[in-house]
Amino acid sequence: MTLQITPVLLVGGSGTRLWPLSRKSYPKQFAPLIGQETLFQASAKRLSGAAQGLDFTAPLTMTNSDFRFIVTEQLAEAGIDPGAILIEPEGRNTAPAVLAAALYLAARDPEAVMLVAPSDHVIPDSDAFRAAVRQGLSAVEQGQLVTFGITPDRPETGYGYLNLTAAPDGSGAAIPLERFVEKPDLATAEEMLKAGTYLWNAGIFLFRARDILAAFETHAPGLIGPVGRAVAEAETDLGFLRLAPAPWSEAEDISIDYAVMERARNLSVVPFAGAWSDLGGWDAVWREMGPDAEGVVTSGAASAIDCSNSLLRSDSERLQVVGIGLENTLVVAMNDAVLVADMTRAQDVKKAVEVLKEKGASQATHFPKDHRPWGWFESLVVGGRFQVKRIMVHPGASLSLQSHFHRSEHWIVVEGTARVTVDDEVKLVTENESVYIPLGAVHRMENPGKVPMVLIEVQTGSYVGEDDIVRYEDMYARGQGEKG
C-alpha cells in the first residue's frame, strides 16, 4: 500500500554564514550553490512524486511575504505543483511554523503524515533518503515522532547530535532517542564519533498531524492558542494563505527542538548513512563541491594559481577573481561585496554581517539585484539625485500602475518589447527605443511578448528610494510601500 506524505518545506532564515551570496533579502536556499538547481528546488524535487512505496502530495510551504513569489516561481521552474503556501507575518522560529502547518493539515485530515524539512539542505542520493523515510513510517504508524540522524564521518563541532539508545545495526530501522546533545567541542565530538551511538541532528521530522498536535498540547500548550487563532483567522491572498498577524505575534519565538522534541518521550530516530550537508558555511560548500588534488575549488569567473585547500568563487559576470599562492583561504565575490577569510574561520563569516549592519551598509542584508513577482531589477549606479537600473520583466508580467512624487524616469528597451502606459497613452516600445515618464505621471510597463523583456531605467529627482511609489492597480495585490 502506498501512503501519502505531505512535505512541509520551511523557507526562511538569512543564511548569514554564507554571506555575501546569502542575505536576508535572498537567502541561500534560492541560490544555485551546488550545481544549476537552487537548494529549494532540489529539496522540493526530492520530496515529490511517487516512488519506492511513497506518494508525496503537493508541498505545504511555510515562508514569509517577501519570498512568496520567489517560492512559486522556483517551484514552477522545477515543474512542481506549489500546493499550499502559508505566509508567516514575522519569523517566530520553527515551533510555531510546524504547529501552523499541522493545524492546517489536521483540519483536512487528522491522519495526514507530515515530512517537515528545511529547504536548504544537500542530500545527493534522493532514493536513499526516500528509503529512510519509508523506514520511519512503521514508527509513525505506532504514534512515534520520527527524526532523522546523519551518520557522522568526522568529529563535527558545528552540528547538534542525537544520542541513541543503541548503535545502528545497518538495517535502517528506527531507534529510540536517548537525548539531544548541543554542538560539542572537538574533544567531545571525537568521543561521540568513537562511541557509535551518536548521529548528527538533521532537523528533519516525520509524524502524523494528530500526533504532533498532541505533543504540542502536552509540552508547549502556550503555543496552541496564538498559533491556532493565526490559522483560524488567516486570509487568502492570490492563492497564498496569510496567517493573522496579531495572534501570530503573541506566539513564543522557539524552535521545535526546544518546544517539543527534547521533552517528548515518543521520539525515534531513523539513521541515514548517505551524504548530507546543511551547507552551514563556506567550508561546507568547499567540501560538497569536491576539491581537486590540491584541495582547490573554483566556481564562476575564478582562477587559482599555485593555491591549496582554498575556495575561489565569483558570482559576478563583471568580476574575475584570481588567487595566487593562497592556502586555506575563502574568496567569494559578488557585484557589490567580496569576502576573503581563512578557511578555519568559515563559521565567523556572520560577524561580517554584524559589522556591516553597524556601518549601515546595505550589503549586510540586501542584494543589488532585487527579485519581484514580475521579474527583477538591479541597481547599476546610484548617485545623490539619480539611479540607473537594469530591469527584467517576465513574459506576460506587468509592473503595477503607479506614480512617483520625487522622480522622473527614462526607459530604454534593450531586449524584447514593452507595452508602456503613461497617463492616457498606451504604446509599444521595442529594442533601441525609449520613453520618458515625467514626475507625477501615472504609468506602467508590461511585457506582452513570449521572451523576457529587459530595459535600462534612468531615474532623476530629489529622492530615488523604492518606497516612493503610489500604486493604483496591481495584478499581484501588493499594498503601498516598497514590496507590499
Bond from prior residue into 368 cis (ω within 30 degrees of 0): no
CB-side exposure of 473: number of CA atoms within 13 Å? 9
As a whole number of angstroms, the distance between CA 411 and CA 445 comes to 10
pLDDT tens per residue across span 184-241: 999 999 999 999 999 999 999 999 999 999 999 999 999 999 999 999 999 998 889 9
Answer yes or no: CATH 3.90.550.10 is held by domain 3-272. yes
Task: Go through 308-330 and write b for each residue having 16 or more CB atoms within 10 A of its CB, e for each that does not.
Answer: bebbbbbbbeeeebebeebebbb
The class that CATH gives domain 369-473 is mainly beta
* Residue bearing cell 493565526: 230
pLDDT tens, the chain, 484 aa long:
467 899 999 998 777 899 999 998 889 999 888 888 999 999 999 999 876 678 899 999 999 988 988 999 999 999 999 999 999 999 999 999 999 999 999 999 999 999 999 999 999 999 999 999 999 999 999 999 999 999 999 998 888 999 999 999 888 899 999 999 999 999 999 999 999 999 999 999 999 999 999 999 999 999 999 999 999 999 998 889 999 999 999 999 999 999 999 999 999 999 999 999 888 899 999 999 999 999 999 999 999 999 999 999 999 888 999 999 999 999 999 989 999 999 999 989 999 999 999 999 999 998 878 888 899 999 898 898 999 999 999 999 999 999 999 999 999 999 999 999 999 999 999 999 999 999 999 999 999 999 999 999 999 999 998 889 999 998 887 765 545 3
All three cell numbers of 468, joined, read: 516612493
* Cell numbers for 15: 543564511
Domain with CATH 3.90.550.10 in the chain: 3-272
Domain span(s) for CATH 2.60.120.10 in the chain: 369-473
